[in-house]
Amino acid sequence: MDMTALIADLVGIRLEQNDKIIQQKSRDFYWYSPVLKRQLDHVTGDLVASPRTEEELIRVLKACYAHDIPVTPRGTGTGNYGQAMPLSGGLVLSLADMNEIREISPGRVICGPGVICSDLDKATRAHSSQEMRMHPSTYHTATVGGFIAGGSGGVGSINWGGLRDFGNVIRLRVVTMEEEPQILELTGEDLHKVTHAYGTNGIITEVEMPLAPAYDWVDAIVGFDSFDDATLYANALARQDGILTKLITVVAAPCPFDYFKRHQKFLTEGQSVVLVMVAPHSHDAFKAFTARHSGEVVFDASMVEDLKGLPPVFELAWNHTTLRALRVDPAWTYLQSLYPFPNQIELAAKMERMFPGEMISHLEFVRFDGDITCFGLPLIRFTTEERLDEIVELHHANGCPVFNPHRFTLEEGGMKQTDEIQLAFKRQADPKGLLNPGKMIAWDDPDYDFGSGETWLFKGLKQAS
């Protein structure tokens, strides 16, 4: 790769050539997985470019196309699957400086891909008391573009489903990787070509997303003596149409007391908990409902005088649960599974009992295809890769599909089925295969079997149309 010629072509664009910073910008939270840590620890790019405008971005893509330089886009690198890591070296394309908020109007916002989620909410709250429908637990560090390109849902998915669902992204402006890059405006069905595609088939330069009314959400933790009681309560709370929540998370003992260190003074050893974010106008109803289910509200932010030093409860949920455990005991890793409706309660209980000492259950209640169910993000005590694969297969065998976070490709992760329509779009948008190479099996192996009947978090376009 002729990086010297590339650098000469990119005069005036912010570049980073310091090896240590390039390595840092070539990383995400891949080390959550001991498998990916072994496979990807050596990965680094050769140069980082940080365009500030779409015009600068197009200059970067044209130059990389001319010199056959691979391009790996990134936001702030808060993903967990190596999706922002440059497997073939080349140029790391940081979109963090494309962070302009262009328009806020009733029910929607238009912004650059590099806007931090919490900064977007700060602006929309100040402008018109609105907020993002959903956001990752890395709310204070993740970018909007990174969330769309690498995420699936999160805090707010209890009401709005996931990014896979029609309406949760309105429009994306995407630049292709060609000799003369095209600017595409994608809406409707076409959005599924690039949402959760790791930037393998186009670079997002503008996002239009829906907004929801903003509330001063009240954080609460409800304690239960058993995981089963916590799960039954969480499922029932999620089905209370009149109680507005933004987060309903179950974390089994011993995780809360052992690993939620800053909240430990509110918790009891051996207690399983439900983490809740509830709207202020639903707070009384939430407390009454909880009392009826014999839950103990062990923490209620509205009743605590000094919240200094306490993270928001969403930073105990989703993949922050894994992070809290890893900080105390590096032997933990995790899985991502689905407990399909209508058997989510029975499946969660069954999995909880199947791996004593190896697994701590963690459920995130969501809307999924219109029904209330839950994802599992259980903590898994890592021993060997072979045992990890066995645990994955036992989940599958018991009707709990796993979207494997120990794989860095789209298809193996199960997060999105790459089919002929998406592959055709990559051929159109990235004819040389320079965008984030190595992340899409179908590009390297066109004979990959898409007809396996697996459950996919993102529907394939061919199957959906």
How much is the pLDDT for 415?
Answer: 46
Cβ-contact 422, 443 below 8 angstroms: no
The token pair that represents 317 in the structure block: 């949920």
Task: Say how far apart CA 53 and CA 412 lie, in whole Å.
Answer: 34
Q: Where are the domains of the chain?
A: 3-94, 101-214+414-440, 218-403
pTM of the model: 0.94
How much is the pLDDT for 452?
Answer: 54
CATH class of 3-94: alpha beta
How much is the pLDDT for 446?
Answer: 72
Fold of 218-403: Vanillyl-alcohol Oxidase; Chain A, domain 3 (3.40.462)
Cβ-contact 117, 99 below 8 angstroms: no
Which residues of the chain fall short of a pLDDT of 50? 415-416, 460-465
Residue 458's contacts (CB-CB under 8 Å, 6 or more residues apart) are 152, 164, 192, 195, 196, 415, 416, 417
Task: Say how far apart CA 313 and CA 36 lie, in whole Å.
Answer: 28
Cβ-contact 405, 73 below 8 angstroms: no
SS (H, E, C) the chain: CCHHHHHHHCCCCCEECCHHHHHHHCCCCHHHCHHHHHHHCCCCCCEEECCCCHHHHHHHHHHHHHCCCCEEEECCCCCCCCCCCCCCCCEEEECCCCCCEEEEECCEEEECCCCEHHHHHHHHHHHHCEEECCECCCCCCCEHHHHHHHCCCCECHHHHCCCCCCCCCCEEEEECCCCCCCEEEEEHHHHHHCCCCCCCCCEEEEEEEEEEECCCCEEEEEEECCHHHHHHHHHHHHCCCCCCEEEEEEECCCHHHHHCHHHHHHCCCCCEEEEEEECHHHHHHHHHHHHHCCCEEEEEHHHCCCCCCCCCHHHHCHHHHHHHHHHHCCCEEECCEEECCCCHHHHHHHHHHHCCCCEECEEEEEEECCEEEEEECCEEECCCHHHHHHHHHHHHHCCCCECCCCCCCHHHHCCCCCCHHHHHHHHHHCCCCCECCCCCHHHHCCCCCCCCCCCCCCCCHHHHC
How much is the pLDDT for 410?
Answer: 78
Between the CA of residue 1 and those of 27, 32, 181, 339, what are the distances in Å? 21, 31, 21, 46
Fold of 101-214+414-440: 3.30.465
Q: Compute the chain's Rg from CA coordinates.
A: 22
Task: Say how far apart CA 244 and CA 247 lie, in whole Å.
Answer: 10
Residue 456's contacts (CB-CB under 8 Å, 6 or more residues apart) are 414, 415, 416, 417
How much is the pLDDT for 348?
Answer: 98
Q: Which residues pair with 173 in a beta bridge?
A: 185, 206
CA atoms in the 13 A half-sphere facing the CB of 191: 20
